[in-house]
Structure 1
Amino acid sequence: MELRRLRYFVAVAEEGNVTRAAERLGIGQPPLSQQILTLERELDVPLFHRTGHGMSLTEAGKALMVDARRLLNDAQSAVANAQRAGRGETGHLHLGLTASAAFHPIVRALIRAFRANYPGVALTLTEGTTTQLLALLEEGRLDLALMRPGTHSFAGIALYQIASEPMKVVLPAGHRLAKLRRIPLTALAGESFVLIPREESPMLHDEILNACRLAGFEPVPGQQAPQLSSVVNLVSAEFGVSIVPASVSQIRAEGVVYVDIADVNVVTNLALASRDAEPSAKVVNFLALADQARSAASAGARGHPAKRRKAKEADHAQA
């Protein structure tokens, strides 16, 4: 049974007249009458009482009318659902993020914006190390991942930078440098560093080591920590010092202080990673919102007097 014939049937039943139904459907009266007769032959029951005043439904026609309306509504819903899915407005988006990425304000703003703009998409967050997130991406268990890529590139992975931020030194509160507002990295030469193992977060690990090497010294490896919150806690326990993204200074652990770094090139980038294959509409939508969030954050930094110097320093660092 063709949906087209059901639409014709419903139109004739609602109008009670073939001429008016034909005008409503935008087709000729003879073809419409023929389609109704074909439907009746297909079902092997009369659907209409035909009188000089018009057409009325038989008992079979009344029964069909109920199901025909439901089927037509279901067909319209199916089309609408397919179109919404094609536009990335329904379904499920699996987003991974590292612990350090979760602290950045642009990440919170981006997640809020996606949920507000695409309420029909279920968003699942998975936290993990960079290595774990890359593996989940490759396996297809994540659609996107927020991470700090440093200068690395990965086969089969596309990276979209969305933010850049300075790094800070985190020191025990009783450290000799703790009362200073800004220090050069050279002041940390000879200090024991609390670091996340490279196998857990190769990008952030390498960024910290490279920053120290550019400053002219090799950091002394000390106690290792599985994640940034552990780094801060170990510094608080005076296991050593460390360098963290500025947004991590939101962790207000007792016994630590965060100090700005005088070296303007000590910055870390935040990026969205996706599989290099053709992205889904949901991924494209998320990336578009990320681009908007990046532009808004950049405009805000340049427009606010207190932030202009930091924006200039970040631009200089990326040049």
Structure 2
Amino acid sequence: MNIELRQLRYFVAVAEEMHFGRAAAKLHMTQPPLSQTIQALEAALGTPLFLRSTRHIALTPAGQALLPEAQRLVLQALALPQLVQRAAAGASGHLSLAFVSIADYSVLPPYLREFRASHADVQIELREATSDVQLEALEKGQIDAGLLIPPLPDRLHAVLNYQKVLSEPLILAVPEALGARKKADMLASYKDLPLIIFPRKIAPALHDVILGRFRDEGLTPLIGQEAIQMQTIVGLVSAGMGIALVPQSVSNLKRPGVLYHALKPATATQNGSVEIGIAWRKDNASPVLQAFLKLLRN
């Protein structure tokens, strides 16, 4: 069976007008080819669609059953150009985005709000994951982009693009019970407390920056716990398990029993900040991804 969209469009016009002459005028054509097209459609379907007399026409039961479906198909076909154009412009489609936990307290919420405001028809799939997991997913093409902590492994430089999004200083998170008795701007005041930190293989840059702050002050911290989620680290601080150096935006995570203190500024020889950036495959030409990257650049 070979039914053309044109045949359905002609059928809908006749069914809505209930008159071949008026339907032909509506379609900007003459009546004979319209009648021939309807007859060809009936032949293809194997049943009459109209009851015809010299004075009027009416839909057969088969015609009544076909009309709503034909109307739906015609309307869908009319919407196809806009659908395709919106997808080509990145206004609709799908975006798979992974993020490290610290991005949830800084760049992720405002960027998502702005992107959703201008791309309401884009389906966004979010996945919280550590940087190493994101890099593996990017390499396999399982996600479109990842908000992660650099650096990228050398082997992935030919595969991935990277763009810096945010750099922020470290602050000190301490148990509230100790906050009033210590000098908040000196790590030496807390040298006797265990340090809660990310495992180095999960976030080597963040791990090294944290230990670098201690080293530059002549301190060797006692690592008491390792955790891969920022909320877990802050939770352990709340429980009195130790202290932590966290990105400044983590202070947005209000947890009872935790105080956040600014550290003295890093010196010229120190790297006292944590960077978050976005990585994506160089061969990913998704218009939706390009629209999201444009938002970040702006």
Give the TM-score, by structure 1 length: 0.69
Q: How much has 1:47 moved relative to structure 2?
A: 4.2
* 2:165 pairs with 1:159: no
Q: How much has 1:147 moved relative to structure 2?
A: 1.7
Find the aligned partners of 2:50 and 2:233 in 1 and give their Cα distance.
Answer: 80
Find the aligned partners of 1:161 and 1:27 in 2 and give their Cα distance.
Answer: 60
Summarize the alignment of residues 93-104 of structure 1 with structure 2, pairs less than 5 Å apart: 93-104=95-106
Give the TM-score, by structure 2 length: 0.72
Q: Name the % identity.
A: 35
* 2:257 pairs with 1:261: no
Corresponding letter in the other structure for 1:2 = E
Find the aligned partners of 1:239 and 1:10 in 2 and give their Cα distance.
Answer: 73
Partner SS, residue 142 of structure 1: coil
Q: How much has 1:132 moved relative to structure 2?
A: 1.9
Structure 1 regions of 5+ residues with no counterpart?
Answer: 293-319
Summarize the alignment of residues 218-257 of structure 1 with structure 2, pairs less than 5 Å apart: 220=221, 222-227=223-228, 228-232=230-234, 242-251=244-253, 252=255, 254=257, 256-257=259-260
Partner of residue 20, structure 1? 22
Contact 1:166–1:246 (Cα < 8 Å) also in 2: yes
* 2:286 pairs with 1:283: no
Partner SS, residue 258 of structure 1: strand
Q: How much has 1:199 moved relative to structure 2?
A: 0.8
Q: How much has 1:73 moved relative to structure 2?
A: 3.8
Partner of residue 31, structure 1? 33
The number of aligned residues is 286
* 2:13 pairs with 1:11: yes
Structure 2 regions of 5+ residues with no counterpart?
Answer: none
Q: In structure 2, do the counterparts of structure 1 residues 199 and 221 end up closer, same or farther at CA, with 3 Å as the change threshold?
A: farther
* 2:183 pairs with 1:179: yes
> What whole-Å deviation, never above 9, does each CA across 1:28-71 have from its counterpart, x for those lacking one?
44433432343344345554455666x52352544443443244
> What whole-Å deviation, never above 9, does each CA across 1:220-277 have from its counterpart, x for those lacking one?
5633421334544666778765532111233445365422332266222222222332
Partner of residue 67, structure 2? 65
Partner of residue 137, structure 1? 138
Deviates more, 1:141-150 or 1:247-256: 247-256
Partner SS, residue 263 of structure 1: coil
Corresponding letter in the other structure for 1:113 = E
Contact 2:100–2:131 (Cα < 8 Å) also in 1: yes
> What whole-Å deviation, never above 9, does each CA across 1:88-144 have from its counterpart, x for those lacking one?
55555433221222221x321223334444444444432232112222333343333
Contact 1:6–1:68 (Cα < 8 Å) also in 2: yes
Partner SS, residue 158 of structure 1: strand
Q: In structure 2, do the counterparts of structure 1 residues 151 and 74 end up closer, same or farther at CA, with 3 Å as the change threshold?
A: closer
